[in-house]
Amino acid sequence: MLKVVLGSALLAVFAMASESGSGAEFERPPSFSAQNVLGAAVRGANYSVARTVPSDGFLRSYTFQTSFGAFSANGDEMALMRIRELNALDALDKTTRSQKFTDAVAKAGLAPFDLAGKLATNPVDAVSDTFSGVGQLLGGVASGVKHIGRSKDSTLASVTGASKQKRLIAVQLGVDPYTDFRPLAEKLDALSGYAAAGGILVTAAFAVIPGAAGAVISNVSTADTLNSMARDYSPDQLTDISREKLAKLGITGVIADGLLSNSFYTPVDVAAIVDALGRMGNMRGFDVAVAHAASAQSRDAAYLVRRRVELTAAYQERTRQLTGFVQPRSLAFPMSTTADGGIVGVFPFDCLAWTKDAARSFTIVSEESKGGAKVIEITGTATALARMRLRALGWIVRERSPR
What was the pLDDT predicted at 48? 98
Measured CA to CA, the distance from residue 403 to residue 389 in angstroms comes to 25
pLDDT for residue 278? 96
Distance CA 85, CA 79 (A): 10
- pTM for this predicted structure: 0.82
d(CA 344, CA 67): 42
- pLDDT given for residue 156 in this prediction: 45
Predicted confidence at residue 339, as pLDDT, reads 94
Fill in the amino acid letter for 24: A
Tens of each residue's pLDDT in the chain, 403 residues: 433 333 333 333 343 333 333 345 899 999 999 999 999 999 999 999 999 999 999 999 999 999 889 999 999 999 999 999 999 999 888 877 777 777 777 776 766 665 443 444 456 643 333 344 444 344 333 333 333 334 466 544 544 578 888 998 898 888 999 999 999 999 898 888 877 776 666 555 554 444 444 444 444 445 677 888 998 999 999 999 999 999 999 999 999 999 999 999 999 999 999 999 999 999 999 999 999 999 999 999 999 999 999 999 999 999 999 999 998 876 778 999 999 999 999 999 999 999 987 998 898 888 878 789 999 999 999 999 999 999 999 999 999 988 7
- Alpha-helical regions (H) of 98-222: 99-107, 155-160, 162-173, 182-198, 202-206
3-state DSSP of 220-267: CCCHHHHHHHHHHCCHHHHHHHHHHHHHHCCCCHHHHHHHHCCCCCCH
The β-bridge partners of 396 are 375
Residue 20 burial by CB count (10 A; 0-12/13-18/19+): exposed, middle or buried? Answer: middle
The residues facing 398 across adjacent strands are 377
The one-character DSSP state at 197 is H
Dihedral sign (CA 225, 322, 363, 255): positive
